[in-house]
Structure 1
Amino acid sequence: MNFDLTQEQQMVKKLMRDFSNEEVAPGAVDRDRSGKFPVEIFQKLSEMGMMGLPFPEKYGGGGADTISFAIVTEELSRACASTGITYSAHISLGGAPLNLFGTKEQKQKYLTPICTGESFGAFGLTEPNAGSDAGGTETSAVLSNGQYTINGSKVYITNASYAKHLALTAVTGREDGKKEISAIIVPTDLKGFKIIDNYEKMGLHASNTTELLLEDVVVPEENLLGESGKGLQQFLVTLDGGRIGIGAMAVGIAQAAYERALKYSKERKQFGKTLSSFQITQFKLADMAMKIELARTMVYKAAWLKDQGRMFTKEASMCKLYASEIAMEVADEAIQIHGGYGYMREYEVERYLRDAKLLEIGEGTSEVQRMVIARQLGC
């Protein structure tokens, strides 16, 4: 058992640590306040070859592994969680289903622009009445004369304003009273396709979160992704990979909160001593460091299993669940260590708490993760 990163993974980590410190972190506060999407950062990531990192080179990708993807996501999230979630969704939700289930022609046409950064990746699953219960999908796609006519809506969709196309789920038929849900690739510039970007969020202000409205949107039958009626299963597989990204995001946010708390505790004096010299602060910091390391190890294990072609559903849920919950804990403790200053935006730690909360909700709530884990245990 070897816990060392490979030489390539170490290079990715150093490259992204330097890039995040120099290019991403300096504007994080302004982006949080203005909500400005970090287009320039992603142009640079595209030039660095990071936008298609884990996908095949023949489609413009980098041919790297899932651990490298997790490293990039963690480092970006440590500097700016809005940038981290944009990248994670671009890869794990936008590109992954095309790579996993697309035909050669579909990959050439739709995955390549994602890998080269010409388009952002996005994923249309959640609906007003289909959140944790994805089977509650009501968006419909009626096949007639070789074309699907799609009607419905999607909510809380990341990156859609900057995506030239996305895969989404829709009901394509019914059998014995059960919905047949399929995945369909839909260009976002088609007539009847409307993207609304006006959510007011608790955190992750610089990420793009949208509502999709589809009214008689027509796409050819060849845009069916994978097998008809298998859309829900395909997207559940996609979510397994996405949960590794969320876990990595959580580790990045937690690491940032911990680093700020550690630095502040060494500078701030109370009762004639630095905070870091008090045992209660030392214990807080020790617990924070321990939980972050455990979460990172679990993220890497899930990523490693995926790279080995082995089952990783349970581990992906575990890493997402544990990492997201400790990110909230660590951010909360970082605020506590800062005291009154932690409650003020100037010291930034409150941003980590606001950003981390989404990670306990998106891509399957903590409650859903426990259901998945229990099911994998045979309960």
Structure 2
Amino acid sequence: AINGKLFGASSQLASKNIANNKSVQSSIILITVMLSIMVTIAIIAGSINDAFENVNSTFEGDIQLSNLMKDAEEYHRIQEIDGIQSLTFVYYNFSDYLVNGENKKMGLFGFDTEMVGIKDLSGRIGNLSEDEALIDEFYGMRNNIKVGDTVEISGKNMQTIVLKIVGYIDASSFTSSRNVLLLSETNYIQKISPIPICIQVKTEGNTDEIKKKLTTDLVGTGIVIQTVSEFLKNNKQSIDSMLSMFSIILGMAAMLAILGVISNQLIGFLQRKKEYAILYSVAMSKRQLRMMVFFETVNTFFVGCLFGGILGVFLSKTLEQMLFSIGEYVNVNIDIKMMFAMVFGMFVFLVMINLLSLRRIAQLNVVEEIKYE
């Protein structure tokens, strides 16, 4: 009724045809399914890319030294190299631990301040006693560990430690599994390991020149020396491979949707040629027929794209919960502009390619179609 008042009888008839025509309905279902897959993939890929961009916040310096074999005291002399402003020793270790009697993969961190993307949610970093620790909020929730609970941890080459959980941290910028427990730096050195996992070097001057000096000074030690840009570039290769795979799937979904819709439209036209011919011979002009087909197309694609966009958002949030249930945390960020552009772009593209149906109406041979009726 609304279509009829706004655009005339042709649009009203088009709306009725959508409700009764199986070919049109199958096009709506196809568009909805394919577009929802595309939107879901785009949202997840964007969220993964955003997470990688946050890796920049995990660096306190310009050069990172890793694969260390000695205590921190052995590396303080590095600061005497010209151009080095400061050294930040980073202590953590990911390994298999026995946590309250259960085998778990966990990262034990020893910090007295926020670093490497670890965020303090309770204001307790730097103020932890020997028997206190902070746990990632997500990891604590998954393992039913709350503030006030006691955690007993044992592992290879370390003494058994008993820690009281006194607050939460957010380790999502560091690891998607967020399986992190944080101690004070002193406690970590005494009970876990005195060897830092890496040293972040803050420089003043030409970073590449300072890297060369470090390479010369540390030759033969087996220490890996990387600038932050090199580290990010190396790690971005794996992310780029994943995003490329997502792009391929996205393109295939778009192609299948387009080919499927074109096929449905072509079959639908062939099935309804006689109907069009009878309508033209009895009650409608070819202009009115074209208007009817045009509104059928627009309404079909509008409904399919609308449902596809909504379903895509729902599926991405569902996928977030599924990952949560298996211990992975992906913060799904829905870019409204990107999603709208994708849905609107698909809608416009589908409408444009299906304008061919209007040309077929204009070329319809009415006599040939109804001569046996």
* TM value normalised by structure 2: 0.26
Greater RCO structure (CA 8 Å; 6+ sep): 2
Structure with larger Rg: 2
